[in-house]
Amino acid sequence: MKRPNIAIIGRPNVGKSSLFNLLARRRISIVDPTAGVTRDRLTTEIQLPDGPCVQIMDTGGYGVEDVHNLTAEIERHIAVAVAEADLVLFVVDAQTGIVPLDEQVARLLRSSNTGKTKVLLVCNKVDGEDLEHHAYEASSLGFGNPVMISATTKYKRNAFLEAIRDAIDLDVIKDAEGLSHVTDAGMLLALVGKRNAGKSTLTNAIANEERVIVSDKEGTTRDSVDVRLTIKDRAFTLIDTAGVRKHKSIKSDIEFYSHHRSLRAIRRADVTLFIIDASVPISQVDKQLGNEILKHHKPVVLVVNKWDLAEKNYTKEEYAEYLDKAMKGLDFAPLAFLSAKNKQGLKDVMAMAFNLHQQAQHRVTTGQLNRITQGILEQRLPPATQGKRLRVFYVTQLDICPPTIGLFVNHPDLCDPNYERFLINRYRDELPYSEVPIKLVIRERRKTSLDTPLDERKRTPKKSKDDDDKPDTFSDEYDD
């Protein structure tokens, strides 16, 4: 189904990213007075008031003098956005007036436009009525009278949205159905890792197009870039992120916002691809990032990238053993060895990601959990503390994504971290959660005269298929 594409185009510092965030109603693009903050094409879907659902694209500033010499790459992505757009929002600045670079952008739009794409001239930073007369200077660019807006004060916001809705070519969507609502993003798959680990290269390899800018310069990616894709009718969204680094190494507001958007991508993801550069040793940043993934109980694939550079020094078994020692707590996560640059191993990575997402959504019955827990307690009771021992009355699954298991006990403070780890590892052995994090929630339940702790109950043998109609003397009270 064809969804209208709207591209936001203009020179640096006219407020394109602020307008993008205004339309999206959330902070997606990094906004900073520094010119050239946005480099990649950022996209999101929005619902226009009383109108269709559209996809909007934020782009870098045309003509920016990029500090990493990425001007050509930025302008190439701008050209792609214009070519894909059904409507271009050509943004200028009411307060600085029309400058030669605005005229250059206007010539670009006229030369690249084949007639299929509408151009809506937008004059931003019209913060109040006293600045409206400045905006009409933009009419000299040849795209009619400008639509006025202030992304900061939201002055004339409703008129701006109405102008966009009226400018959309309804022929684009008249034959399509189901475009009145934002589509499901599918599985959210965040690519995280330290700088220059190969996240953007992997994003482009999976997307099979140059979707984000790739450079050997550190810090090329700044925003978190969502890329919606489909593989064999399975929708998912790749989230390419900026490279994570040590807090003490963050030296500017842009790096600060990039860092925190990367951490936010972990929190919003369903599954993470933790990109590890096999050509260099595991660093403290890698370990901190692993801890962040564990903290939020996110399913993770350890993606060993640049394996073509490292395989002369290690076998896969040797490197796996090295990772187990270096990355404590992630020994349950599956490993994928690949070369994103050479597009090797991509199918295995995506298969693992979908499998982890499926594991995390599985739900186990309360009866099954109680039987398994009873067996675990018979193998090893919790240690006693000052003559008191943890007693488990019953267990149930509280949630999915992550699988969350609730233990109702006499005194939660009696369960020490070592025993919690033991329980989680045993649950991972017994339940279909072998490769995803398990969240354990321990809650107090006061014992009543009818309660018998699990470790004191008689073990009920497994039922055969012929016994399905017989009562389960152990777990009937708790079966789902």
Reduced 3-state DSSP string for the chain: CCCCEEEEECCCCCCHHHHHHHHHCCCCCCCCCCCCCCCCCEEEEEECCCCCEEEEEECCCCCCCCCCCCHHHHHHHHHHHHHHCCEEEEEEECCCCCCHHHHHHHHHHHHHCCCCCEEEEEEECCCCHHHHHHHHHHHHHCCCCCEECCCCCCCCHHHHHHHHHHHCCHHHCCCCCCCCCCCCCCEEEEEECECCCCHHHHHHHHHCCCCCCCCCCCCCCCCCEEEEEEECCEEEEEEECCCECCHHHCCCHHHHHHHHHHHHHHHHCCEEEEEEECCCCCCHHHHHHHHHHHHCCCCEEEEEECHHHHCCCCCHHHHHHHHHHHCCCCCCCCEEECECCCCECHHHHHHHHHHHHHHHCCCCCHHHHHHHHHHHHHHCCCCEECCEECCEEEEEEEECCCCEEEEEECCHHHCCHHHHHHHHHHHHHHCCCCCCCCEEEEEECCCCCCCCCHHHCCCCCCCCHHHCCCCCCCCCCCCC
Instruction: Identify the pLDDT of residue 171.
Output: 54
Give me the residue label for tokens 């200077």.
137
Sorted by where each starts, the structural domains of the chain and their CATH numbers stand as: 5-172 (3.40.50.300), 187-359 (3.40.50.300), 366-467 (3.30.300.20)
Q: Which two tokens stand for residue 167?
A: 């400018």
Instruction: Identify the pLDDT of residue 221.
Output: 78
Residue type, 218: E
**pLDDT, tens only, 217-242:** 777 777 788 999 988 889 999 999 98
Write out residues in the chain with pLDDT < 70, as ranges. Answer: 1-2, 67, 113-116, 169-182, 248, 251, 447-451, 458-480
pTM of the model: 0.83
Instruction: Identify the pLDDT of residue 471.
Output: 37
User: Left (φ > 0), alpha (ψ -120 to 50) or beta: where does 10 sit?
Assistant: left
